[in-house]
Every structure is written in C-alpha cells, then in structure tokens.
Structure 1
C-alpha cells in the first residue's frame, strides 16, 4: 500500500480469521495479545539525532503529583488555546526530541502536556549502532548478539513493569490536574485532545474508548459484575496516533472518539491482519469517525521527531505530523 493511501472503508471479508492466539487476561475483558514476536522496536527505545540547532522551549512541572513537560503557545494565555495530551514512546519525558515534538504542537496553538508515563524509568537504552564496525570480527559479532539478547530481555522486563495497571492511574492524575490548572484551554477546546507515539499510542486509544469504570483506572472489573459494570465515557475528544506498540484489537474496538492512525506497512509491532483490520471493521460498525493511513518505506517509529539521512523518511515524517495535526485541529 502506498504511503499516501488512506483506508477508511475496508472491503475485507468478515470471514477472514487471524490465527488463534493464546488468551492473556489483561485489564480489559477479553483482552488478547496483540501479536506474536517483538513488542518494542529499536525506534521505540532510542532517539534519532536531534535536528541541528533546535532546543526545547517548554518547562518541566508537575500535575497531579506527576512530572510533566508543558509547552505553551507563545501568546498563551492572551489568546485562546486547546489542551493536548502528548504520550511518548519509550524514550520518555526527558528526551530532547520528545520535548521538541511537544513544542511543535504548541507552535500550532495547542497547550501541550506531556507526562512522564514511566515514573522516571524510561526504556533501557539500545545498543549504539554508530560504534559498531561495518565488518565486525567473529568475537565482536558474538558480543553484539549477546548485547542484543540482553537488551531484548531488559525491554521485556521493562514492559512487564509498565502495564496499564501502573500507567493509567498516572495519566488520570495528570488529566485531573490539567483540567484544574488549564481549565480555560480544556473549555476552549470542548475537551482534551490526544496524540500518541509507539508506547503512548496504546494509551491514547484507551483514553479514547468506552470502558468499564474500573478498567479505565487500570483495574480489571470484578468477574461476577462484568455484565453490569458502569461504562466510562472517553476522556479524549479526538486523538491521533502513530505506529502503536502493544495495541490490541480490543483497544480499537472500544474507541468512540474520532481517531487518526498513522501505520507503517508490514509492521510486526502493529499488525494489519491481527490489529488494524479487525479494529477498522469495529470502528466502521460502531460509526466512529476514523482515518487510517499506511506509510511505506519507513521504519517503525519514523513519525517521532528526529533526523534521518534518507530524504524520503524526512518527508514522510513531516507528512505524518501534518496529518496528525490536521486531524486534531479539525475536530
């Protein structure tokens, strides 16, 4: 599928079934594993080089007791703004690139709140590929393979710790704090907007969905009450996400808010067959306004601000930002 192809109506037959996957009980009823294979990619846990000459202009603060980066439009509060919740990939709050990404949305008129989803514990740093010889010796290859295996283990352990049970309560504290401190921006936008990248994409989708009241706070609903639990309305007015990780089809099936998705062609971390296609069908069935755009020839994580040598990736990174920005501006 070409990078400029947008799919909002899928002709796939409902009879097509993805291979059966073992059921893993999660926060949400009937939640299943997104896909087999890797759950986080290299671009989810490492920053690309920072664009030359750019420095963050926002500030570090706290909302609801949680560390946040806040980026404000230059003329705020003299001119009205809208509140935007930005959720990052594994590189987290202190990443210069993530802070610059928040600044970019602020320059377009949004008051941006970017929380520390990981409580000061971002994803383990990946192997620095710039220090590896182009033609490594056998011993160097063994060392590299060992390092990659250990890195994969560390990331799996990190993911096992940063689950919805831990992340969602943090996000709720930030949202409640933002509603109080920036009530003018919330009111002006008629709610809170959201953008999410990689790890953060899953949580924008969750906050854009209708879930049992307990589940939205990271708790599994009581089994004997699942049929009668109170449903919580979406906390995000409109959301835009790029190349999500750990996303399940159930996350998309629960979405109620207008949602834009930037996906990467043949992305094992955000499977077309197991996640996007059933999720798209559910959104169509539920009458949810949505747009799914698939980009080809780019790596997972390409939409996160950072420099690339390949001019095509640079171009599509800018295009993805424009699409995500346009979506939340239009809603």
Structure 2
C-alpha cells in the first residue's frame, strides 16, 4: 500500500466523504444492536485494498460458468441479471447487488449474484464504473528481507512502483465519485422496478447488498441521501425541480460487506434496517467511524446488526478461493448472515 499523504491516498478530488482509515486484523468479534464495537488505533492512510480491485481464483466447486446474463439497461448501462431457476413461477424478491472495484464483468461477482439467485432473489447488478473497472493494484511481491538485502536503487524503484499504483487508483476514484455513480444506480433501479414489479411487490420493496466499493452506496441508499438528485447531473436536477424525485428510501433493507472508504457521514442518516459485515482493524472502514455510526444508529432507533470478523482480509466475503480454513469459513458465515438478514426483512 502507499505512504501517500491522507489527502492523496483517501480522497478523490470531487468528494469529501472519506474519513481517515486504520490498519490490520485479529479475531472475530460479533456485535449486535446492543453490543459495542472495538475501536482500533489509527495508523497509515491507504487508498484501496488489492482485495477491492483484484479477483481471487474461483473455487472449483462453482459451476463452469455463471448462470445469469449480461444485458443493457437504459443509457447503455451494462447490467448482469440473475434469476431463480423457477422464477416467475415461484415468486421471488428483487435484490440490487453493488460490486467491488472489479465490476460487472468479473466472474467472481457474477457467481456472487448467482448465489443470491439460488436463494430466491432476482438479482440486478449494474456496471457502476461505465466500463472502467478499477486498475489492478496488487502490490509488487517482495518481503522485508528482500527489501533489506536490495540495493538502494532497487528499494527506491519498489517504493516508486507502489506509489505509482496508489496514484493510479486515486485517479480512478476521482472518476467514480457519488456524483457519477448514484445516477447510474437510480436509472437501473427505475428500470428494474418496472421490469420486475412482481418481485418488488412480493418483497415489499427492493433489497440492497454491497461489497467493498458498493458497500458504501448501500449505506447511502438506506438513507434519505440516496434518493436525491446529485449535483452536476442535469436530468436529475430537472427532475428535482419538477418534483419528480422519488420519496422514501431506495431500499427496504441492506447489507454492507467490508465497505470501502466509509466515512462518518455515510453512517449518519440511515433509516432502513442495515447489517454490517466488517473486518477488524480495517483501514478502509475505520473503527472509530464504525463506533460513531453504531452510536448514531442506536440513538435514532434504526434496526441494525454489526458483525466484526477477525483473521480475514478486506474483501473476504466475495466469491474467491482461499487456502485458509478460517477465511473460507468466515466467507460462508458472512453469506449466511446476509441471507438471514434479507429474508427476515
């Protein structure tokens, strides 16, 4: 990860939503609406994790290919749709799935959508990045011992390469701010509500699940901020002026799994029931932000649950193969937690 200054490492020029992040992992500490969340101490300010931008190998237990289909929604938004095998004969609910930085073409993300379809959800997964997924920022592989034995010039080159990767990712974040991403989500939701009106009716609304980058936006959709016109988007501004902006929340209930670059303002204002799957000492969802958000949710009577997983990397809940039994078991438990929360609402 980069040692860039906080303003470069965590903030895109068009957004001030990112608070200061933290560091590392430990043991699993499940919490609920009545439990407190441990607050780690602050350390470095990274940009995004490689787990947000790099797909893990696919488990061999998965089908040969995803079962859903890529289609195009209004305004040329590429969208992956996955449905239960017996839909619409058997009623299902509508789920909006918001991805990490690898985006809609990622086979991992498509298989993740299929997992929800097998649990009786019609899944709509849009391309949040307009064909521009995050650059692969997996750091150059070298150990501290390698670095210690390397020449001064080799060490400088290694550090420069990591800094360049972080800068590239900062530039990518600057291209995909809420002002750009929320209008995409609004348009996809509008069409999905029409196309799958039966699923919306069956579930009493739309459900939302987001991983990494997408997790932050599920929190937005669970608040009043999620249904407002975004500055700079003329169509949305005209709709607001004409009184056409939807009232109420965009989602009925949501799950945010290891949200990326979540700030205090992302937690405040939430009114829909939310489940948070977090990683202990996650630099991208700081402990003090989580604690502040939990306090806000409690004080405002918002139904919620928080589960903090230890000994797992950021991004662990997305489909992908890990050698560690601890991580594999946590991945399974996180999906079960997600389904249980959605089904209960």
Fold-level match, TM-score > 0.5?
yes
TM-score range, shorter chain: 0.7 to 0.9
Aligned to 2:259: 244
Aligned to 2:330: 316
Q: Shift in Å at residue 272 of structure 1?
A: 1.2
Q: How many residues align?
A: 302
3-state SS in 1 of match to 2:60: coil
Aligned to 1:51: 59
3-state SS in 2 of match to 1:195: strand
Match of 2:229 among 217, 221, 225: 217
Alignment partners' CA distance in 2, 1:61 and 1:107: 20
Alignment partners' CA distance in 2, 1:302 and 1:42: 11
> Is 2:63 the counterpart of 1:63?
no
Alignment partners' CA distance in 1, 2:279 and 2:163: 25
Which deviations, in whole Å up to 9, do the C-alpha atoms of 1:117-173 show, x marking residues without a partner? 0000000012376799x9575466544433221110010000011000000000000
Aligned to 1:9: 34
Alignment partners' CA distance in 1, 2:268 and 2:251: 15
Alignment partners' CA distance in 2, 1:100 and 1:114: 11
Aligned to 2:269: 254
Q: CA 1:131–1:64 in 2, change beyond 3 Å: closer, same or farther?
A: farther
Alignment partners' CA distance in 2, 1:285 and 1:255: 12
Which deviations, in whole Å up to 9, do the C-alpha atoms of 1:306-327 show, x marking residues without a partner? 0011111010011011101110
> Is 2:237 the counterpart of 1:185?
no
3-state SS in 2 of match to 1:112: strand
> Is 2:248 the counterpart of 1:233?
yes
Which deviations, in whole Å up to 9, do the C-alpha atoms of 1:102-131 show, x marking residues without a partner? 000000000000000000000001237679
3-state SS in 1 of match to 2:305: strand
TM-score (norm 2): 0.81
Aligned to 2:162: 148
Tell me if structure 1 keeps the 8 A contact 2:316–2:331.
yes
The 4+ residue runs of structure 1 with deviation greater than 3 A are 127-132, 134-144
Which deviations, in whole Å up to 9, do the C-alpha atoms of 1:180-221 show, x marking residues without a partner? 1111111111100000001000111101101386xx332289
Q: CA 1:135–1:2 in 2, change beyond 3 Å: closer, same or farther?
A: closer
5+ residue gaps in structure 2? 1-25, 238-244
Aligned to 2:341: 327
5+ residue gaps in structure 1? 20-34, 223-229
Q: CA 1:212–1:189 in 2, change beyond 3 Å: closer, same or farther?
A: closer
Aligned to 2:299: 285
Aligned to 1:28: none
TM-score (norm 1): 0.84
> Is 2:88 the counterpart of 1:77?
yes
Q: Shift in Å at residue 250 of structure 1?
A: 1.4
Q: Shift in Å at residue 233 of structure 1?
A: 2.0
Q: Shift in Å at residue 280 of structure 1?
A: 0.8
Tell me if structure 1 keeps the 8 A contact 2:218–2:256.
yes
